[in-house]
Structure 1
């Protein structure tokens, strides 16, 4: 056995001597530059690429297996140049490699330039041509490396340093008219050793163009300590410090500095990754947090996020954006956010969310399924004065227009419903607000519940309490089949109109309790289709109310007496008009609104109305009738018995753009008949006086004569 070992050892030593001697002789007597033609031919035949080797080639074999390349260019036949390399150097120590380790001298890659071009027809200069593909037309499946196949230890790395300098990449898309340049790419590292931290730095400049006009420039720099444990599949980045400087058109000439610091670690065997001590800043916006991910196939994400209080207006200014115009200039200056990360596997969950918007606090939760993209979101707030955030009122210039110039040519048939967007929604939203002030109105206990799945959008709650009453509304939009279908329900109950008008228009001329119920359906994607398919019912009631500042009934009474010259008592004791039992039902039929039972009582007068409003034709035909009831107006305005029980109609007929004075006019035929009857009675009285009255033949003849003149 000893003899065998001695012989085997001698053979191994002899083999090493032969390899060393062969390497020395190969380096001394064979010049790789003599094989440039063969290398070019081999590259074209096997890889389908054209090589231009303008510089020298160099190699070494033992103890360092190394290669040096200078000034090489690569392209596919008949296509623009793809790549260019100024210099590359790399060498591996053979004895270490034979023992399962990778020990390398410094790796140098200088002047690498990639030119990626996509033509208008979609062809590119980096696609492999048919000639360069394998003869069999099949793609070989990569086989596991020896360490993976045998289950042995991973190869250990020992690299003196890495230097990539003067790198440039350009991507041109002729179809989109865009171009992206990556310039002056540089990466350097210290000694790279498996199982130990090593330093590395990286920097580059990127430019983005559109139609040959530079849109944005990015200056990036990064440095950190890196850790590689290939055997245990553990990787770390410690003390990451990265900066971005953004300039260009999106920022209106300003430079935006972004800074990202963090520690990152990952254990692939245990399927864990951690982002700790995260700090992200952009102008006055500072975010921080910690994130841990486990089980990569169905990740479980935990951690926390925080955005420190910042001014949105200041941030917009730093980004070169215009400020948001608000009625109150002191809003949008104190915004902050906090949340905990957690949830079921394969879910991104924001729990215990806290959002602060100036004086308003919101709390809630959000969960997004990473596989399906579905979102469940709830957010509840306390008090929000939305009027402070609305744009300041601006005086609108008066627009002169000729009569009839505003008449609509018809409703648009262009689609306005985003069908595909609605089909793609997969969410459940629950929003609430204790108190909202908007447009001078005060609403409380607001609720908005919405679900959207598979093209069915159901806003089941659009609720609020306001002015001693309630709003209970719902909307369903169904885009699962064409045409889109809508179903709207509104239920408003017990609203005190006086309080509402006081806040909305600073007047309380009208008071009362307002109620309405509406149930309407429609279908279609355009305004035209929706208007022409409105169907359903609505009703309005106001059981009691008052119009302040004027006694409408008495005013109408005086107007009647003036018309009939029956005498007027101008005194008004109570300048208000109580009314009762206002009610009306409306029916929608393909966009035409019919109403036949409008009725209310204004003290001594009953107001009735009926008619139609055609939304598709944009016109109306409606009749209002005022009837003086018997034995009324006895206190301040005596009505002649001749007017009692007579309906005084007002006809409203015409298109929506008709001037109001021309749209509604009193029915002249009724007025004419009333005046006719009055004249008849007056003439009859005078004739009776002349004839002395009684039942004689002269009196009867006079009555027949009047009947012939006035027809009755």
Structure 2
């Protein structure tokens, strides 16, 4: 027995010695560079990618197989473009675990790693094939020698690209072979495990190209350190780097740590104890600090996402079209679970906060979901609430949203009440909206509704009758994502009249909206009263004294300019809107229109309001309005057989013109403010009136004052001549035709023909209308006609066929006029002016009384001493044009 035991023991020792010697001989004679071409061929057969190893593979022996390689690169699939490359890599492999299908790698050190990650126009990434799971069998590598047959995909003994298998060589091949270590499973199907003691990556770069969004960025100075890496076991990861972006522009530092765990077989991934910090420029965000902390987990099989103790914080400033300063936003999620496979959602104490300063106002947003649970069996939760507040620019806006009575299940979620409570405070005006409604959403049918909307709009303003105004309403709203549409109907009561509003939106990703508005009566003065500043109370006059004159206004140059309201129609670029409006009565200011109708169409940045019709002051309104996203406006309006006096009275609260006739307006303007629109006004205005009057100026009376002034030039009884418009005076006419042409806000009166029983009036020079500065400078030429038909005509017979120019000028709200004596083309008046008429009118002195136009020329008058004449008052100098 001892003899056989000794023989067995000796045999085992001999076998071990032979094995050790054989392994030593193999390792001493093994040349890993002989397998480079074979390895490159395997990679190409499996991935259709080119693997290039420019440097030599260096091999070390016991106690581990150590490999060092330099100049390695891998191409994109079916391309010569580089996908990834490394300058150098070093790692060691334990021999014994290889016998048990385990690849145990000591520390891996990689230097100069670079990768180019690309998403194509179809949304596919260029590394997708590398992470897809494929069945793999054992692979055996043979060195390439001169006697080795060429191996190509599809050749006998070589697997196709689908199976990715390389057959072992024939028995006559060299005996030196690399053990089967590639792939995730061996030929027998046993799990092949990878165990890496640690990874140290230095000076890495990752280049990112997104051809869907056009984004271009890169991560440089990337350093990564990990603990022991193996499947389904947690390990530490720490990284630092710098994010640089070309589009959007970025320049930020990244630092992060986490405990990572992944299992490719089960497709589960998790990151615990996450602590990521980013600061710098991230597109429009200038981040003082962006931090993420918490725990995240995801299972691709069950499509389950878990988050716990998550804190996401952002501090900085946001640029762009709407810049935000002092931005602070946070998302706190103690517990969140989304399981799509089980149709479950769980939320605990989710809280979102955001605040910052916009250019003209500050905002504050809050949203809270204390507890919410949704499953196929039931849905329940505490009330969810949110608020939005805006302050600044002399206004305060607040909106509160509440969801309560959560019930139903994962298929059909219901709310007992969706509540919206909002208010807008601007100056002394307060607008409030309150609305409640039950709600439901069907997950599988992708539709839902606010089934019974009920609420009211309340406006409080001292300018309103009674100080307040309410609009109660009821309605409903339905959304159907399968049909891709949203429909809403609102029925309201406005000023005791009925209003019906229906809207339908389709193609909700890029909405096309159509609406119909029908109302009995709309009073915009009630809904939107003008904001007026209270006038200061005048001081009480002393007994018997006249009231004090109002204090003069400060010079225009020193008055504080009123901020111009900005007009921005850029939203029209993204609007597709069709609408019809029909209102029985519309009131704006004091203008009242009946049977008002209009059709709206907005698309491709253009808005057209066509079919604009209304009954207006015994006449008809007909026309068209247009606008575009560049703030270009046009108006083509016609008022036919309209009484002009009540129209002007209703719009301007002052009527300087009356009569029945037609008004045609065809103008265009472009600008972002009212002054800019006025400065850019182009077009024409035509007025055709009959049987009316011009108020503020009585031309016949002015002519009588002219006649009396000449007849009594030395009598001392010269009349008082008015120089300012007086609404008690009027010039009646039978016909008035006027054409005004505007060019960049400057109007020119091209035609002015006024026919009165005794007078004929036409335009002279200048004839300008400046709407930018609200100024008028117009000369009217007045002639007397039909002197024998009326007593007034007989009184002015001496002025028959004499053109008398009168210049009307000044601000629109304070017009004045002057007789242009020196421009009167009558020899007798010229002689009178030469003889001192103007000075005498100024003096109201002299005792000469003679006919206005004697049969013979005026005899030379005896010169008076000039001292009395020179003591002239200035009261009539404006009239005389001196």
Deviation at 1:41, TM superposition (A): 1.3
Pair 1:181-2:330 in alignment? yes
Residues 349 and 367, structure 1, Cα contact 8 Å, conserved in 2: yes
Pair 1:451-2:601 in alignment? yes
Q: Which digits, 9 at most, give the CA deviation of each residue in 1:494-551, with x for residues without a partner?
A: 2223444665677788642142113335678898997777554432011112579x99
Residues 246-261 of structure 1 correspond to what in structure 2 (within 5 A)?
246=387, 258-261=402-405
Pair 1:242-2:418 in alignment? no
Residues 137-536 of structure 1 correspond to what in structure 2 (within 5 A)?
166-172=309-315, 178-183=327-332, 185-186=334-335, 202-208=348-354, 210=356, 215-227=364-376, 238-244=379-385, 246=387, 258-263=402-407, 274-277=412-415, 279-283=417-421, 285-292=435-442, 301=447, 303-312=449-458, 327-328=464-465, 331-341=468-478, 346-357=483-494, 359-360=496-497, 361-389=499-527, 390-391=529-530, 393-395=532-534, 400=552, 405=557, 418=568, 420-477=570-627, 487-500=634-647, 511-521=658-668, 536=683
Instruction: Specify whether residues 327 and 577 from structure 1 end up closer, same or farther in structure 2 by C-alpha distance, changes over 3 A only.
Output: same
Instruction: Specify whether residues 455 and 421 from structure 1 end up closer, same or farther in structure 2 by C-alpha distance, changes over 3 A only.
Output: same
| CA distance in structure 1 between the partners assigned to 2:699 and 2:782 by the alignment | 10
Deviation at 1:76, TM superposition (A): 1.5
Deviation at 1:370, TM superposition (A): 1.7
Equivalent pairs counted in the alignment come to: 563
Pair 1:600-2:737 in alignment? no
Tell me the SS of whatever aligns to 2:824. helix
Select the residue among 784, 787, 795 that pairs with 1:639.
Answer: 795
| CA distance in structure 2 between the partners assigned to 1:341 and 1:445 by the alignment | 31
Which residue is equivalent to 1:77? Answer: 240
Instruction: Specify whether residues 487 and 464 from structure 1 end up closer, same or farther in structure 2 by C-alpha distance, changes over 3 A only.
Output: same
Deviation at 1:198, TM superposition (A): 8.5
Which residue is equivalent to 2:90? Answer: none
Instruction: Specify whether residues 399 and 474 from structure 1 end up closer, same or farther in structure 2 by C-alpha distance, changes over 3 A only.
Output: farther
Instruction: Specify whether residues 343 and 472 from structure 1 end up closer, same or farther in structure 2 by C-alpha distance, changes over 3 A only.
Output: farther
5+ residue gaps, structure 2? 1-105, 109-194, 205-221, 242-252, 292-297, 320-325, 422-433, 537-549, 721-727, 836-846, 863-882
| CA distance in structure 1 between the partners assigned to 2:565 and 2:649 by the alignment | 39
Instruction: Specify whether residues 403 and 674 from structure 1 end up closer, same or farther in structure 2 by C-alpha distance, changes over 3 A only.
Output: farther
Residues 22-33 of structure 1 correspond to what in structure 2 (within 5 A)?
none
Deviation at 1:650, TM superposition (A): 0.9
Instruction: Specify whether residues 250 and 187 from structure 1 end up closer, same or farther in structure 2 by C-alpha distance, changes over 3 A only.
Output: farther
Residues 652 and 664, structure 1, Cα contact 8 Å, conserved in 2: yes
| CA distance in structure 2 between the partners assigned to 1:83 and 1:75 by the alignment | 4
| CA distance in structure 2 between the partners assigned to 1:658 and 1:385 by the alignment | 27
Residues 512 and 577, structure 2, Cα contact 8 Å, conserved in 1: yes
Deviation at 1:435, TM superposition (A): 1.3
| CA distance in structure 1 between the partners assigned to 2:521 and 2:408 by the alignment | 41
Tell me the SS of whatever aligns to 1:41. strand
Residues 569 and 638, structure 1, Cα contact 8 Å, conserved in 2: no
Which TM-score applies when normalising by structure 2?
0.50
Deviation at 1:439, TM superposition (A): 1.5
| CA distance in structure 2 between the partners assigned to 1:306 and 1:471 by the alignment | 39
Instruction: Specify whether residues 470 and 257 from structure 1 end up closer, same or farther in structure 2 by C-alpha distance, changes over 3 A only.
Output: closer
Which residue is equivalent to 2:198? Answer: 41
Instruction: Point out the more displaced range, 362-371 or 508-517.
Output: 508-517
Deviation at 1:66, TM superposition (A): 9.8
Deviation at 1:202, TM superposition (A): 1.5
Instruction: Specify whether residues 48 and 430 from structure 1 end up closer, same or farther in structure 2 by C-alpha distance, changes over 3 A only.
Output: farther
| CA distance in structure 2 between the partners assigned to 1:164 and 1:408 by the alignment | 56
Residues 224 and 239, structure 2, Cα contact 8 Å, conserved in 1: yes
Larger gyration radius, structure 1 or structure 2: 2
5+ residue gaps, structure 1? 1-34, 60-64, 93-97, 103-108, 128-141, 146-153, 228-235, 267-272, 314-322, 690-701
Q: Which digits, 9 at most, give the CA deviation of each residue in 1:418-448, with x for residues without a partner?
A: 5754333322232332212232222222233
Tell me the SS of whatever aligns to 2:798. helix
Residues 683-694 of structure 1 correspond to what in structure 2 (within 5 A)?
none
Instruction: Specify whether residues 449 and 344 from structure 1 end up closer, same or farther in structure 2 by C-alpha distance, changes over 3 A only.
Output: farther
Residues 207 and 217, structure 1, Cα contact 8 Å, conserved in 2: yes
Deviation at 1:193, TM superposition (A): 13
* Larger relative helix fraction: 1
Deviation at 1:221, TM superposition (A): 0.8
Tell me the SS of whatever aligns to 1:119. strand
| CA distance in structure 1 between the partners assigned to 2:476 and 2:271 by the alignment | 46
| CA distance in structure 2 between the partners assigned to 1:255 and 1:422 by the alignment | 26
Tell me the SS of whatever aligns to 2:464. coil
Instruction: Specify whether residues 246 and 475 from structure 1 end up closer, same or farther in structure 2 by C-alpha distance, changes over 3 A only.
Output: closer
| CA distance in structure 1 between the partners assigned to 2:813 and 2:390 by the alignment | 49
Residues 217 and 248, structure 1, Cα contact 8 Å, conserved in 2: no
Residues 557 and 639, structure 1, Cα contact 8 Å, conserved in 2: no
Which residue is equivalent to 2:278? Answer: 117
Instruction: Point out the more displaced range, 467-476 or 274-283.
Output: 274-283
Tell me the SS of whatever aligns to 1:520. strand
Residues 746 and 768, structure 2, Cα contact 8 Å, conserved in 1: yes
| CA distance in structure 1 between the partners assigned to 2:719 and 2:787 by the alignment | 16
Residues 369 and 382, structure 2, Cα contact 8 Å, conserved in 1: no
Instruction: Specify whether residues 279 and 110 from structure 1 end up closer, same or farther in structure 2 by C-alpha distance, changes over 3 A only.
Output: farther
| CA distance in structure 2 between the partners assigned to 1:111 and 1:583 by the alignment | 85
Which residue is equivalent to 1:648? Answer: 804
| CA distance in structure 2 between the partners assigned to 1:505 and 1:658 by the alignment | 11
Select the residue among 781, 798, 820 that pairs with 1:666.
Answer: 820
Residues 736 and 755, structure 2, Cα contact 8 Å, conserved in 1: yes
Which TM-score applies when normalising by structure 1?
0.61
| CA distance in structure 1 between the partners assigned to 2:604 and 2:683 by the alignment | 26
Tell me the SS of whatever aligns to 2:198. helix
Which residue is equivalent to 1:694? Answer: none
Residues 552 and 602, structure 1, Cα contact 8 Å, conserved in 2: no
Report the RMSD for the aligned CA atoms in angstroms: 6.0
Instruction: Specify whether residues 48 and 368 from structure 1 end up closer, same or farther in structure 2 by C-alpha distance, changes over 3 A only.
Output: farther
| CA distance in structure 1 between the partners assigned to 2:762 and 2:345 by the alignment | 89
Higher RCO (C-alpha under 8 Å, 6+ residues apart): 1
Instruction: Specify whether residues 165 and 536 from structure 1 end up closer, same or farther in structure 2 by C-alpha distance, changes over 3 A only.
Output: closer
